[in-house]
Amino acid sequence: KNQVEQSPQSLIILEGKNCTLQCNYTVSPFSNLRWYKQDTGRGPVSLTIMTFSENTKSNGRYTATLDADTKQSSLHITASQLSDSASYICVVSGGLSGYALNFGKGTSLLVTP
């Protein structure tokens, strides 16, 4: 069964600190992996989308890494800001049907002053 597991489930950090969120998946075959940020009461917003050949992709203070061999991805947030408080969702595209989107349940991040 194709699965996407995210950790930690929730995280609290001080403003200005860095943090790393994890995503492990079993989806096969793999097509791409995306990280979304979802603010409370809003729809998800795409941060990065990575294919098999990409190891690292950055979007401002957000840097995603992908290790397709170990089927792991991480999202690193640098110099966190209060506005980073949100849910971060990992989505892996792939599977036998090709177009299936497999969602993690998200990591809830709270950045405190």
Partner 1 sequence: KAGVTQTPRYLIKTRGQQVTLSCSPISGHRSVSWYQQTPGQGLQFLFEYFSETQRNKGNFPGRFSGRQFSNSRSEMNVSTLELGDSALYLCASSLSGTEETQYFGPGTRLLVL
Residues that bind partner 1 (CB under 8 A): 31-32, 34, 36, 41-46, 49, 89, 91, 93, 97, 99-101, 103-106
Q: Name the token pair of 20.
A: 């790393």
Q: Residue 105 CB, nearest distance to partner 1 (Å)?
A: 4
- Among residues 103, 93, 100, the alpha carbon closest in space to that of 30 is found at 93
Minimum distance, C-beta of residue 88 to partner 1, in the bound complex (Å): 12
Tell how strand 45-51 and strand 62-67 pair up.
unpaired
- Smallest gap from residue 44 Cβ to partner 1 (A): 5
- For partner 1, give the closer residue by CB, 80 or 104: 104
Quick one: 61 or 105, whose CB is closer to partner 1?
105
